[in-house]
């Protein structure tokens, strides 16, 4: 699922040096045979928006640049695009000629050097055969957990963590994050070759407190809307109390800790950066309704989750109100997205 | 694009021994390292019908049987499902749990031993990296050419070859088949490992004459319908004259000849078999309108091609009339589908 196409584009640009360094590391492995004739790259949680193929084409261009500098033999590229089975793979497949054109032009590839396959399935589990990947990338997908944590009934009218969430709820979310991350790392550990590289960007958090507004803001605003709807008797209190989102925004420390505990990877870099979700930077300064773009984008991210719980009838109402709440907030304060990027090498 | 789900199921069953033999051959290669830890299988032109996953699961079950007999090490399976980008990959991906259940139950695989990827693109060109495949299979897809042959203007009101087609049209179709087959073989030759196996089943023909009714029947019946519609001034003569289908039903000799000429493969088996398209065998004996099932199925195969040429308005009319024409024919005569299966080893 994609988030904030424009902001994500900026995140992709900001984290590019980390991926370039990782690619250089892949080529510098002591074992010269790490990459044989084909470099296999996987993008996990590829979604189907305008940014789907950006990182993939950038990675191939980077690889070709390094290969030329080192005058190593010609390579072929196998790209695996992964997302859940319900993802619009058809849309991605139709847009592939753009990828081929881009990498052929910019990296000087021939027409038969780059191959793309779609891989449906959850990255919280195996997706690829043993030692079949050289480079794994994932951006803004890993904040989705595999399920709503168990034991979060006490979270009441909140739909994610917030400053009023009881300690047991915070622990349940954190436990689920740790459990999922371990499964993720164990799976990738089997799939990557020794010396293989993995760069993951989380929609994360800059503080150590999982309930700090900075990371929970977008969800708190939904809680505010849902509570309005309860008070107006448009939806039932029980419905909201039974609703919690399967997401988690980790800090860089939490991510690094899980990688350390799992033990299959060496950490090369952990990076925290922030981008401003701002109408002005977004070229939206002249648009009165600055809350609309974030609302529209959040809708693309979570509409299905909301619809399956609250029903489709109330969905327009939720996102219209959300737009107004966000707009009000943006007129007073900046909204930041925190990116936690970790770059690791398979031991 | 799938054809005759029921008949294809029978074709799949009939050609199973050929695939079993090919799989045994793969395991008997002198080079013991042909298959390392992962056996990579590609199904080309997988479509999205009920038979899409049948052959794939059968191949894995066969492989596991042979592996157990030989007591060789545990394998993982990478399955590539290929079709054109417009294929309903979403539908295929959603049905994957059925494949996993089948192979896990019948072949005793663990949950993390089989991986599936969708590969969009034309098999008349490269689809996979060099030496990345061990087994290639294709059934009832290779009768589609890459394009309508050039120089078939003289084919007039025919839409495929028929006994009234001029020699130059027959030659143009045959040339296109040969050109496409060479590209297909050259591509697969690069993608298969040495000793890799390929089993192809064509919707073919039992005689050497490309215009014999036996192979052109289904298309002749469309010509008959289109000519009715011309005489009733429902469609224009020019429209029909400008329409030719990008298909070819080859004989076993033609297929074998192309494999011989291209030179990358050793032929193991060439097999010709026929199945009866018959209401009775199909469990349709009590249904008055025996022409409907073939019409419905042909519609699923060629509707888009007809619609883009003749427009969507006339489509229902075409297939309703086709149903009646086929029904009339079936009451008098058997309709046979000829299968040409070739099994080859990569040199």
pLDDT digits (tens, 9 = 90+) for B138-183: 999 999 999 999 999 999 999 999 999 999 999 999 999 999 999 9
Q: Which of A130, A36, A183 is nearest to B115 (CA)?
A: A130
Instruction: Tell whether the model's pLDDT for residue A75 goes beyond 70.
Output: yes
Quickly state the pLDDT bin for B190 (edges 50, 70, 90): very high
* A120 neighbourhood in chain B, CB within 8 Å: 93, 96, 116, 118
Query: Cβ atoms within 10 A of the Cβ of B100, count?
Result: 18
Lowest mean pLDDT among A81-95, A191-205, A281-295, B241-255: A281-295
pLDDT at site A278: 64
Alpha helices in chain A (DSSP H): 5-14, 16-27, 54-70, 89-94, 96-107, 167-191, 213-231, 237-241, 252-262, 292-310, 315-330
Q: What is the pLDDT of residue B274?
A: 92
For residues B273 and B341, the answer to whether their CB atoms sit within 8 Å is yes
Cβ separation B86–A90 shorter than 8 A: yes
Question: Mind listing the pLDDT tens digit for each residue in B29-39?
Answer: 877 678 889 99
The 10s digit of each residue's pLDDT in B66-76 is 999 998 899 99
B300 touches chain A (CB under 8 A): no
Query: For B93, which of A76, A120, A131 is closest by C-beta distance?
Result: A120
| A313 CB-near residues (< 8 Å, 6+ apart) | none
| Mean pLDDT for all residues in chain B | 91
Name which of B85-99, B188-202, B275-289, B303-317 the model is least confident about: B275-289
A131 touches chain B (CB under 8 A): yes
Nearest CB partner across the interface for A89, out of B37, B89, B112: B89
pLDDT in the model for residue B294: 79
Q: Is the pLDDT of residue B2 over 60?
A: no
Domain that residue B226 falls in = 5-346
C-alpha R_g of chain B: 21
Interchain CB contact of B89 with A (< 8 Å): yes
What does the pLDDT look like over A176-188, one tens digit per residue? Answer: 999 999 999 999 9
**Which one of B80, B83, B85, B87 would you mutate to disrupt binding with A, by most A Cβ within 10 Å of its Cβ?**
B85
Percent of chain B exceeding pLDDT 90 equals 74
CA angle, corner B221, sides to B215 and B227, nearest 5? 135
Residue A21 burial class via C-beta count within 10 angstroms: exposed 0-12, middle 13-18, buried 19 and up? middle
Per-residue pLDDT, B139: 92
Mean of the pLDDT values across residues A252-276?
A: 96
- Write the Ramachandran bin of B121: left for phi over 0, alpha for psi from -120 to 50, otherwise beta: left
How do residues A277-328 score in pLDDT, each as one tens digit?
765 544 444 445 678 878 887 888 899 899 999 999 999 999 999 999 988 8
Q: For residue B88, which residues of chain A lie inside 8 Å, CB to CB? A: 90
A60 to chain B nearest CA, in Å?
Answer: 15
Across the interface, do B130 and A86 touch by the CB < 8 Å criterion? no
From residue B26, alpha-carbon distances to A290, B19, B139, B156 in Å are 62, 10, 19, 47
Quote the CA–CA distance of A87 and A45 in Å, as a whole number. 9
The whole-number pLDDT of residue A9 equals 83
CATH number at residue A101: 3.40.50.150
| Mean pLDDT value of segment B5-10 | 77
Find, in chain A, the residue whose alpha carbon is nearest to that of B81. A117
Provide ipTM, 2 decimals.
Answer: 0.90
Say what the pLDDT of residue B88 is. Answer: 93
Is the model's pLDDT at B136 over the cut of 70?
A: yes
Q: How far is A261 from chain B (nearest CA, A)?
A: 23
Going by C-alpha positions, the residue among B136, B148, B252 that lies closest to residue B187 is B136
B50 pLDDT tier (thresholds 50, 70, 90): confident
What confidence category does residue B285 fall into, taking pLDDT thresholds of 50, 70 and 90? very low
Sign of CA dihedral B302, B305, B308, B314: negative
Task: Give the residue-averaged pLDDT of A80-93.
Answer: 94
pLDDT confidence of B196, banded at 50, 70, 90? very high
* pLDDT higher than threshold 70 for residue B283: no
Sign of CA dihedral B22, B53, B206, B196: negative
- A84 inside 8 A of chain B by CB: no
Q: Is B76 on the interface with A (CB under 8 A)?
A: yes
Which residue in B87, B118, B187, B194 has the most chain A C-beta atoms within 10 A of its own C-beta, making it the best mutation to test that interface? B118
Quote the pLDDT of residue B284: 47
Which whole number is the average pLDDT over A14-18?
A: 94
Total domain count, chain A = 1
**Chain B residues with CB inside 8 Å of A129's CB?**
37-38, 76-78, 115
Mutation site, B117, B123, B131, interface A, largest A CB count within 10 A: B117
**Residues of chain B found within 8 Å of residue A132, distances taken between Cβ atoms:** 38, 78
Shortest alpha-carbon distance between residue B217 and chain A (Å): 34
Cβ-count burial of A132 within 10 angstroms (0-12 exposed, 13-18 middle, 19+ buried)? Answer: buried
């Amino acid at each position: 699922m994609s988030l904030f196409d424009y902001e994500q584009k900026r995140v992709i640009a900001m984290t590019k040096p980390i991926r370039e360094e990782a690619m250089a590391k892949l080529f510098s492995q002591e074992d010269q045979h790490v990459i044989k004739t084909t470099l296999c790259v996987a993008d996990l949680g590829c979604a189907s928006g305008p940014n789907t193929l950006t990182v993939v084409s950038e990675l191939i261009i980077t690889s070709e640049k390094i290969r030329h500098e080192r005058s190593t033999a010609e390579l072929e590229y196998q790209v695996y695009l992964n997302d859940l089975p319900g993802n619009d793979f058809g849309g991605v497949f139709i847009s592939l000629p753009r990828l081929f054109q881009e990498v052929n032009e910019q990296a000087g590839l021939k027409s038969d050097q780059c191959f793309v396959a779609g891989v449906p399935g959850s990255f919280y589990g195996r997706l690829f055969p043993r030692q079949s990947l050289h480079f794994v990338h994932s951006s803004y997908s890993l904040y989705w957990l595999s399920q709503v944590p168990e034991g979060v009934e006490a979270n009441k009218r909140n739909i994610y963590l917030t400053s009023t969430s009881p300690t047991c709820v915070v622990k349940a979310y954190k436990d689920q994050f740790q459990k999922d991350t371990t499964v993720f790392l164990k799976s990738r550990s089997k799939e990557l070759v020794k010396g293989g590289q993995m760069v993951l960007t989380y929609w994360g958090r800059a503080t150590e407190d999982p309930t700090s507004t900075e990371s929970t803001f977008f969800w708190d605003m939904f809680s505010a809307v849902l509570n309005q709807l309860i008070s107006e008797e448009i939806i039932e209190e029980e419905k909201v109390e039974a609703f919690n989102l399967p997401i988690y925004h980790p800090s860089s420390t939490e991510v690094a800790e899980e990688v350390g505990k799992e033990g299959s990877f060496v950490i090369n870099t952990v990076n925290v950066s922030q981008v401003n979700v701002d109408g002005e930077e977004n070229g939206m300064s002249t648009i009165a309704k600055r809350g609309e773009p974030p609302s529209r984008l959040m809708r693309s991210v979570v509409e299905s989750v909301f619809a399956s719980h609250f029903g489709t009838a109330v969905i327009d109402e939720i996102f219209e109100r959300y737009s107004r709440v966000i707009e009000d907030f943006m007129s007073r304060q900046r909204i930041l997205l925190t990116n936690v990027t970790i770059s690791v090498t398979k031991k």
